[in-house]
Amino acid sequence: MKAYLVGGAVRDRLLGRPPGDRDWVVVGATPEAMVRAGYLPVGKDFPVFLHPQTKEEHALARTERKTAPGYRGFVFHADASVTLEEDLARRDFTINAIAEDADGALVDPFGGVRDIEARVLRHVSPAFSEDPVRILRAARFLARFAPLGFTVAPETLALMREMVAAGEVDHLVPERVWQELKKALEMPQPSAAIGLLHDCGALAKLLPEVDALFGVPQRPEYHPEVDTGLHTQMVMDMAARLAPGDALMGFCALTHDLGKALTPAHELPKHIGHEHSGVRPLRALCARYKVPAEYAAVAEIVCREHLNIHRLAELRPETVHDLIARCDGFRKPERIGQLALACECDKRGRLGLTESEYPPGPRLRELHAAAMAVSAGQAVGAGLEGPAIGEWLRKARIEAIKACLRA
């Protein structure tokens, strides 16, 4: 019985990055032997155990065989005869198929160290094509490692395209797509994930509302990058920069301009009313992937209101108040900060504008704070009841916004 450190812990050490969870593979053992040694069994589909002291996961070396379409159609085989190389062969990418023994020696049968040095994301074997989740994992890994210079090997991209053409992504369940998408949105360069999914054809299958943005022109005086798909990618990366690890902000960036794909051809490159027409495809996307309610609500606010925030200086105090109320900003004040930040990402996610200031952001927060300083308790203290409280609140908050504008 011999244990090897595998996967991300080895990869990240070789990349000089802080290690995450440490996973181990055990060769030459049986489940009974693991239990006798004090390990706690936790695996449901295959033998996984927790170390009695460190509580780190130790999985028995195993192989897998495809038995049905999709990512669930696998039969796993684990026993003492399975070798380390056989276990590593079933992994997705060469950079994840490196093991390290107790003495620090590396076992690297598929050239993972070489690909780390070359900054290449490459599949281990043709078995990659048996699991459509690996397309999503490739996108997520690229979003994580693109800032380090990683690219996808041409043969891996070709294989991903073949998988899409064969209909493998059609078997992905909504919950798993959302899970992987959310993780990609938390990465430092989420645009790389969307770009890879677009290049291999998976985006058109999974997120057609987003895929349709590529090739749609915008007015160059406002969008020097012109292409709406490219703009969306730039906004996503700006969100990752201004709100690192915030998948909610990344989702708002991803979906804020969906309406531009619906603009009639004769109106291009203008996009009149796209902030309203984008709500319907956004709701469809959220329903399809069972997106959490808070994500769906905030993304819809950003989609609907982002042009209003860009022209905040032109809005009357009454309009500002009603915008805040429409966003539920009095009951959920955090939404106004989220809206301001998302709009800043939109403005700065454009060619040549990444370092620009965004005055409407802090201004919106100031006006919101002034209105929030007026409370229903003040109306009650003045002896008001029922509907009169709401009427008084609106007028008083509008006056507070006016005063803030004059200051």
The 3-class SS string of 258-323 reads HHHHHCCHHHCCCCCCHHHHCHHHHHHHHHHCCCCHHHHHHHHHHHHHHHHHHCHHHCCHHHHHHH
**pLDDT score of 74:** 46
**What is the tens place of the pLDDT at every residue in 158-168?**
999 999 999 99
Task: Render 352-380 in DSSP notation, one character per residue.
Answer: T-TT---THHHHHHHHHHHHHTS-HHHHH
Per-residue pLDDT reduced to its tens digit, 308-337: 999 999 999 999 999 999 999 999 999 999
CATH of domain 217-360: 1.10.3210
- Range scoring the smallest mean pLDDT among 8-17, 76-85, 207-216, 250-259: 76-85
Among residues 13, 4, 17, the alpha carbon closest in space to that of 107 is found at 4
What pLDDT, on the 0 to 100 scale, is given for residue 217?
Answer: 98
pLDDT tens digits for 43-69? 776 688 889 888 888 888 887 665 455
pTM here?
0.91
Relative to beta strand 23-27, strand 57-60 is: parallel
Q: Which CATH number fits domain 1-112: 3.10.20.310, 3.30.70.580, 3.30.460.10, 3.90.950.10?
A: 3.30.460.10
Of 3.40.1280.10, 3.90.850.10, 1.10.110.30, 3.40.50.880, the CATH number of 132-206 is 1.10.110.30
Average pLDDT along the chain: 93
Whether the predicted pLDDT of 20 surpasses 90: no
Domain-wise residue ranges, the chain:
1-112, 132-206, 217-360, 373-407
Query: Could you report the per-residue pLDDT of 140-184, keeping only the tens digit for each?
Result: 999 999 999 999 999 999 999 999 999 999 999 999 999 999 999
Which region holds residue 351: left if phi is over 0, alpha if psi is between -120 and 50, else beta? beta
* pLDDT score for 64: 65
Which of 44-48, 258-262, 325-329, 356-360 has the weakest average pLDDT? 44-48
**How many CB atoms are closer than 10 A to CB 383?**
7
